[in-house]
């Protein structure tokens, strides 16, 4: 296989690292809530690992803008190609996981699945907040949010490209304020959770888009030292808040610390230069398979609930290790046997 050195040198390898860490943290979070796994002094932080979904949506918007900022997406061919590429990259694996789950683990009746079918084919299930615990939607809800964000991205991009710095900062401030305040409304009036709400996840995506458009060139921001400081502040901030029992379990309320720090991390990691990471085939592969890794978690807990008692796995560290290995094996199988072949075949055809 010929390696494109120019493509590797342009790759924002720091964001690959961010993507892999986010996927792993969500898995560790599931280990904690489903199996009560302990992570020592980091248990409080891991118990709020769902906040890394905020990082995932911000990262998605950030990477898309940096990728397409020089392109005019409102031309018909460019718009068609943009949507086709997103659909090819997301839908085949999503459809397979959905079908396999319904056939093997689903508890809904044939009639219920038939009613859900058009909604899930179009990726609209997250619009219905009460569908989160139904069928596979507890594991695939983020795809629905992502599809809706992708739908509006070309418009977001064109609007943001025409704004000046002041308008971008105002947009960031208003969007962040909405994300900070809305969970308080949920808590005060006991409304439906906004965790899987596409509007609020779309705001996180939009914040990533705007951040990617800012002219940030300061060298001190794009350094490993800055990233380490940001990571420490995130861990300490969340851990202290959990220790003080501040809205524990209200993951969206923790956007007060997640949004600013994930935003700083995105800016920092996007500009990091690391020849070693740039050439790391392991990191590139892990990043490419991260979508499959997220989807593999749809099955992980159910398999573990059967496997752990069967094999007598009770040790905390062993449970965590088995969970990571199991998820990685499923993700690699999905990536190699479904995602890559489908993507290649559909790109050639379409």
Q: Which residues contact 212 (CB under 8 A, 6 or more apart)?
A: 61, 62, 63, 64, 65, 66, 69, 266, 270
C-alpha 305: how far from its chain's center? 25
Rounded mean pLDDT, 94-110: 95
Per-residue confidence at 230, pLDDT binned at 50, 70, 90? Answer: very high
- Asked if residue 340 has pLDDT above 60, the reply is yes
pLDDT tens digits, 11-63? 789 999 999 999 999 999 999 999 999 999 999 999 999 999 999 999 999 99
Give the residue among 176, 173, 186, 146 at the shortest CA–CA distance from 64. Answer: 146
* Better-predicted residue by pLDDT, 113 or 249: 113
Q: What is the pTM of this model?
A: 0.94
The pLDDT value given to residue 18 = 95
Write down the pLDDT at residue 350.
Answer: 78
- Residue whose C-alpha is closest to residue 59's, from 12, 122, 123, 95: 12
Confidence of residue 221 (pLDDT cuts 50, 70, 90): confident
pLDDT at residue 12, as a whole number: 84
- For 330, the enclosing helix (H) or strand (E) is helix 316-334
Using an 8 Å Cβ cutoff, are 63 and 210 in contact? Answer: no
Where residue 279 falls among pLDDT bands split at 50, 70, 90? confident
pLDDT at 218: 65
């Amino acid at each position: 296989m010929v390696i494109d050195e120019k493509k590797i040198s342009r790759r924002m390898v720091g964001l690959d690292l961010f993507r892999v860490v986010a996927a792993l943290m969500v898995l560790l979070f599931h280990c904690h809530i489903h199996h009560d796994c302990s992570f020592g002094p980091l248990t409080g932080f891991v118990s709020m690992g769902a906040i890394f979904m905020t990082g995932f949506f911000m990262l998605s918007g950030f990477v898309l803008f940096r990728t397409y900022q020089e392109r005019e997406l409102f031309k018909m061919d460019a718009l068609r190609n943009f949507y086709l590429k997103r659909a090819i990259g997301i839908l085949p694996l999503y459809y397979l996981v959905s079908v396999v789950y319904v056939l093997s683990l689903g508890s809904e009746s044939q009639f219920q699945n038939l009613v859900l079918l058009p909604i899930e084919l179009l990726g609209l299930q997250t619009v219905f907040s009460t569908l989160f615990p139904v069928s596979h939607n507890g594991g695939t809800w983020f795809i629905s949010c992502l599809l809706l964000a992708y739908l509006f991205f070309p418009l977001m991009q064109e609007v943001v490209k025409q704004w000046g710095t002041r308008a971008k900062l105002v947009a960031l401030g208003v969007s962040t304020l909405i994300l900070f305040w809305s969970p308080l409304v949920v808590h005060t009036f006991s409304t439906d959770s906004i965790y899987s709400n596409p509007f609020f996840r779309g705001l996180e995506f939009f914040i990533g888009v705007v951040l990617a458009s800012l002219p940030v060139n300061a060298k001190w921001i794009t350094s490993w030292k800055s990233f380490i400081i940001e990571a420490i502040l995130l861990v300490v901030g969340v851990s202290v808040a959990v220790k003080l029992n501040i809205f524990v379990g209200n993951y969206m309320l923790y956007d007060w610390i997640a949004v600013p720090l994930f935003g700083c991390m995105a800016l920092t990691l996007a500009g990091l230069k690391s020849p070693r990471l740039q050439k790391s085939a392991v990191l590139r592969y892990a990043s490419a398979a991260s979508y499959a890794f997220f989807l593999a978690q749809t099955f992980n807990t159910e398999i573990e609930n059967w496997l752990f008692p069967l094999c007598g796995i009770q040790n905390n560290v062993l449970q965590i290790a088995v969970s990571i290995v199991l998820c990685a094996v499923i993700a690699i199988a999905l990536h190699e046997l479904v995602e890559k072949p489908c993507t290649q075949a559909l790109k050639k055809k379409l």
